[in-house]
Amino acid sequence: MKPIQTILCIGAGYVGGPTMVVMADRCPEYRFLVTDINADRLRAWQSGNPPIYEPGLQEILARVLNRNLFFTPDADTAIEEADLIFVSVNTPTKTFGQGAGMAADLQYWEKTARQIKARARTPKIVVEKSTVPVRTAEAMERILNTGGGPRIEVLSNPEFLAEGTAIRDLLEPDRVLIGGPETPNGREAMEALATIYAHWVPRERILTMDVWSSELAKLAANAFLAQRISSINALTGLCEATGADITRVAQAVGLDRRIGPRFLEAGVGFGGSCFQKDVLNLVYLCEAQGFPEAAHYWRQVVVMNLEQRRRFVRQIVSRLFNTLVDKRIALFGFAFKPDTGDTRESPAIAICRQLVEERAQVVVTDPQALPNAQRDLADLGTAVLFEPDPYRAAEGAHAIALVTAWSEYRRLDYRRIFERMVQPAFLFDGRNALDHRRLFEIGFNVCPTGKAALLHS
């Protein structure tokens, strides 16, 4: 295998873009190319103004753009030139046919593999960075190596970054996982990929294993994280009903070193493009392989998550005297988590829709996600308003519903907000992000998640 000089990434999204920016920064001797079928996205990256919001990204992009990182719409030439190709295209849940609503839709992946096959003139390493069902690499291997042509090694290298902390996660990963075939060529390819990461990741954190374990480990990691969130959320109703405090319960549970404190924050549940998709993918795999109880077990993680959003809205309706008709509700936050503009599968979408079903007038505010929110809710017309300024969003509102824990929302002048709201004013804290006692003292009726409400009589 010839030494690696040119690295291509197909897919310039939330994973492909930041990953290549960080790699280019840490590995100046390689040339990095990035391509995508979305020309607008490529233009944004190439202009130095990324199409996604991610803290710290723009600064590193400025260092590497046109130095050793280039965004190009010419995928065919880029494929010909590349020695190693990351595939980071989307793998959403299938919406049609067999496995609809559960299995991963692999059409983008397969199209990419066929395009690589058609253009490859020299041996290459193809790296699956997208999250894919177990044994996808095997299928790709067959597409890429059937019918002659140069030898192509397929590796699995799942990505563990989280949005909002992508740069830190990429610079200091807990582990880098590389799966590959136990053949001389396979081992050589794994070593070539490990060498790239070793530019900045300590060798002991670079794990190599067989392809299928690597593919499954990615699904398992997301399923475990999602399960922790559903587990803590499954206790919130009980806490509210009995007067226990979910934050204290989480603290006591998390101090057990076998459990640990992270990912035990109760709230309106998880959103994002991956947790639900990957858990459902795991459910589908368990079912398809004949393990219905395991499938049922993992499915409940998603069932609990969806229930948590509905419960939040039920609580709003019940506290606001059982009717929301013509009441103004200010939704604080729309992104699926703070520090991103991404709204894919954000709990805010379902919450907004349920509030509108109750005929509320919803005003959405968010520091980064309003353009996406407008697209997500375009069909709701004037039932939803979009307001960048949280003070104006809350003006004349009967209630504030906080669904994204942006740090900005902790610093607002809630006395000023309270004075301009309809009385009695309510605040539903779907992320337990605010100082509830202080808000109560200002005059709000405060309804946190998983703890007793603070109500003025």
Residue 270 binds to ligand NAD (criterion: CB under 6 A): no
**341 scored as a contact of ligand NAD (CB under 6 A):** no
Q: Interface mask (CB under 6 A) for ligand NAD, residues 61-100, using x and -? A: ---------------------------xxxx---------
Applying CB under 6 A, the residues found at the interface with ligand UGA are 131, 159-163, 222, 225, 229, 263-265, 267, 269-272, 274-275, 336-337
Cβ distance to ligand UGA smaller for residue 208 or 343: 343
14 makes contact with ligand NAD (CB under 6 A):
yes
DSSP-assigned beta bridge partners for residue 384? 362
Q: Residue 10 binds which entry of ligand UGA, ligand NAD, none, with Cβ cut-offs from 5 to 8 Å by kind? A: ligand NAD
Comparing CB distances to ligand UGA, the nearer of 186 and 450 is 450
> What's the closest the beta carbon of residue 221 comes to ligand UGA, in angstroms?
6
The correct pick among 46, 68, 93, 112 for binding ligand NAD (CB under 6 A) is: 112
- 239: annotated active-site residue: no
Query: C-alpha distances in angstroms, 339 versus 309, 386, 404, 448?
Result: 21, 19, 10, 22
Q: Which of 20, 84, 194, 274 binds ligand NAD (CB under 6 A)?
A: 274
Q: What track of x and - describes contact with ligand NAD for positions 133 through 172 (by CB under 6 A)? A: --------------------------x-x-x---------
Q: CA–CA distance from 19 to each of 82, 127, 309, 365, 385 (Å)? A: 17, 13, 32, 30, 35
From the candidates 9, 274, 352, 447, give the one annotated as an active-site residue.
274
Contact status, residue 278 vs residue 285, Cβ threshold 8 Å: no
Q: Which one, 161 or 177, has the nearer CB to ligand NAD?
A: 161
Residue 306 or 383 with smaller CB distance to ligand UGA: 306
Sign of CA dihedral 229, 230, 236, 238: negative
Under the phi-then-psi rule, with left for phi > 0, alpha for psi from -120 to 50, and beta for the rest, what region is 297? Answer: alpha
Q: Among all residues, which ones are annotated catalytic?
A: 274
Could you list the residues that contact ligand NAD (CB under 6 A)? 10-16, 35-38, 41, 88-91, 108, 111-112, 130-131, 159, 161, 163, 273-274
